[in-house]
Amino acid sequence: MLNPRQRQLLDAVRQSVTISVEELAQQLDVTPQTVRRDIKQMEEASLLTRYHGGVGISSSVENIEYSQRQTLNSEAKSGIAAAVAQRVPSGCSLMINIGTTTEEVARALMHHQGLHVVTNNLNVAAILADNPQCEVIVAGGVVRGRDRGIVGEATIDFIRQFKVDIGIIGISSIDEDRSRRRSHPCECGLFAWNLTAACCVWTSHRIISPLYKSNTGERYNFSLATLNSVTSVTHF
């Protein structure tokens, strides 16, 4: 069982792709030796993985969590996906980002014709690659093992090249301050470019009460945009 400091350490690591021992020590206001002891215990519990100069979440833990998210609220996600697919005309260009709901949207687009899809989600790319009437363009960058998302500065640079008709953007939660949020800071820059690259942006989220909770019950710290930028809301 993790003590409060170790839980705080785990949260700090979750918010970064990797983080150094020194950064963790500074955030937790403890010595690097204390951090190393905690990391050793958590690595033995398969919660963390040590890398050269840093530490990250164990890939097995992240993959289990992502597979669980893929089945969470599956009926609602399928309903959202079907409704979105009905509104996507054949022959248009799309940008689809990381997320389990956007993957459901990709499945619902399997019979559309003449689509041109730009994505930083390898799962979306694999799904739509089976549609012979769909051209799939995959962003470059760093592949994140836990969800097969592609992230990093190279990804943003790649997305900057495109202007699409529709951006289909998954979000993690809507906060009580009316901001739309994601669980990871590196996705915020990508989201900003998704917004500017698309003529029309649709975001997907199944809102539950209270508003600042995600559909997994977690609160996310990284703001992407506010609801002031929303021009219309459709209930599915």
In the numeric block, which tokens belong to residue 225? 């945009």
Asked whether residue 68 is domain-assigned, the answer is no
**Cα dist. 139→88, 149, 154 in Å?**
22, 10, 8
Which pLDDT value is given to residue 54?
Answer: 79
pTM as predicted: 0.58
Dump pLDDT digits (tens) for 7-31: 889 888 877 767 889 999 999 999 9
Give mean pLDDT, residues 118-142: 95
The number of folded domains in the chain is 2
Which pLDDT value is given to residue 64?
Answer: 52
Q: Is 50 exceeded by the pLDDT of residue 206?
A: no
DSSP for the chain reads ---HHHHHHHHHHHTSSSB-HHHHHHHHTS-HHHHHHHHHHHHHTTSEEEETTEEEE-HHHHHHHHHHHHHTTHHHHHHHHHHHHHHS-TT-EEEE-SSHHHHHHHHHTTT--SEEEEESBHHHHHHHTT-TTEEEEEPPSEEETTTTEEESHHHHHHHTT--EEEEEEE-SEE-TTSEEEES-THHHHHHHHHHHHEEEEEEE----SSTTS-TTS----EEEEEGGG-------
CATH number of the domain residue 30 falls in:
1.10.10.10
Which pLDDT value is given to residue 32?
Answer: 92
Q: What whole-number percentage of the chain has pLDDT above 70?
A: 65
Asked whether residue 10 is domain-assigned, the answer is yes
Interstrand relation of 54-57 and 48-51 (parallel, antiparallel or unpaired)? antiparallel
Asked whether residue 168 is domain-assigned, the answer is yes
Residues 9 and 105 in one domain: no
Q: Which domain holds residue 194?
A: 73-229
Give mean pLDDT, residues 209-235: 44
Q: Lowest mean pLDDT: which of 42-51, 62-71, 130-139, 164-173?
A: 62-71
Residues whose CB is less than 8 angstroms from the CB of residue 121 and which lie 6 or more positions away in sequence, other chains included: 96, 97, 98, 99, 102, 103, 147, 148, 149, 150
Asked whether residue 40 is domain-assigned, the answer is yes
Residues whose CB is less than 8 angstroms from the CB of residue 29 and which lie 6 or more positions away in sequence, other chains included: none
Which pLDDT value is given to residue 207?
Answer: 33
Which pLDDT value is given to residue 219?
Answer: 41
Which pLDDT value is given to residue 55?
Answer: 86
Asked whether residue 235 is domain-assigned, the answer is no
Of the candidates 37, 72, 39, 71, the residue with the CA atom closest to the CA atom of residue 57: 39
Residues 33 and 139 in one domain: no
Asked whether residue 27 is domain-assigned, the answer is yes
How many Å apart are CA 16 and CA 36, to the nearest integer?
17
Residues 86 and 14 in one domain: no
Among residues 28, 57, 86, the one where a domain terminates is 57
Interstrand relation of 93-96 and 164-170 (parallel, antiparallel or unpaired)? parallel
Give the pLDDT band (50/70/90) at residue 65: low
Of the candidates 105, 184, 195, the residue with the CA atom closest to the CA atom of residue 142: 184
CATH number of the domain residue 209 falls in:
3.40.50.1360
Which pLDDT value is given to residue 137?
Answer: 96
How many Å apart are CA 131 and CA 96, to the nearest integer?
15
Asked whether residue 38 is domain-assigned, the answer is yes
Which pLDDT value is given to residue 93?
Answer: 93
